[in-house]
Amino acid sequence: MLKTNSKDEISLDQNVTNFMEAAKVWNKEVFGDIHLKKNRILARLNGISLKLGFEVNPFLEDLQTELWKELEAIFIQEEILWKQCSRCKWIYYGDRNTSYFHNLATARRRRNRVTMLKNQHGDWIDDTFQLQQLGMNHFLSLYADDQPYEKLVASGLFPTWTSEEVGRLDRMVAVKEVSAAIFSMGAWKAPGPDGLPPMFYQSNWDGAL
């Protein structure tokens, strides 16, 4: 359970839901539509380029430079947005039996199909019946009981734990350990159930403590 400043207990699921709703409002009212911004700037730049083709205008040249800088920042934001969207779709649809992922598995299975095997004489076999017999004979000989073997004695092969090491298993997880795990992850790796990539926690780690 998480606690707010008013000391009211709120479940993790409710906190995630509240965050998602607030993020939607922020995206619409503060961050804005990236694609709409990009199209507006491109239209303005196109108009400025046509205007400068007929006359020299220092004001339009300065405005063009500023718009190019703004457009470059939007391109970076758009790249991050598409990267996050692709990750979220894999998380959301990855375990579903959709036709898209079924086709991916089918294509991979076709690539991994065995069409020929080499027999004990070094000859390549492509006949279906002979391939079946070759595979069956291989595993029959592999698991045959007439092969001599020695019983494995495992005593003394594995290290034993001290009482102090066993006691460490019951201790609480330290904040330092959580921090090391968070910062060892790739910044834009696949997000968790909350839809947030590791970059979100890495960039806000100091403020959360």
Report the C-alpha gap between 49 and 41 in whole angstroms: 12
Q: Could you tell me the pLDDT band of residue 147, with boundaries at 50, 70 and 90?
A: low
Same domain assignment for residues 43 and 101: yes
Same domain assignment for residues 38 and 96: yes
Number of domains the chain is built from: 3
Report the C-alpha gap between 67 and 95 in whole angstroms: 43
- pLDDT tens-digit readout, 32-45: 677 788 888 889 98
Domain-embedded: residue 66: yes
Q: Closest Cα partner for 38 from 65, 68, 59?
A: 68
- pLDDT tens-digit readout, 2-21: 444 445 677 878 888 888 88
Same domain assignment for residues 42 and 104: yes
Structure tokens at 97: 């039996």
Same domain assignment for residues 179 and 108: no
Residue 25, pLDDT > 60, answer yes
Same domain assignment for residues 174 and 109: no
Domain-embedded: residue 84: yes
Same domain assignment for residues 75 and 89: yes
Per-residue model confidence (pLDDT) at position 137: 86
**Mean pLDDT of all residues in 85-99:** 58
Same domain assignment for residues 78 and 109: yes
Domain-embedded: residue 62: yes
- pLDDT tens-digit readout, 108-128: 666 666 778 888 888 888 888
Q: Range of 176's domain?
A: 169-209
Domain-embedded: residue 92: yes
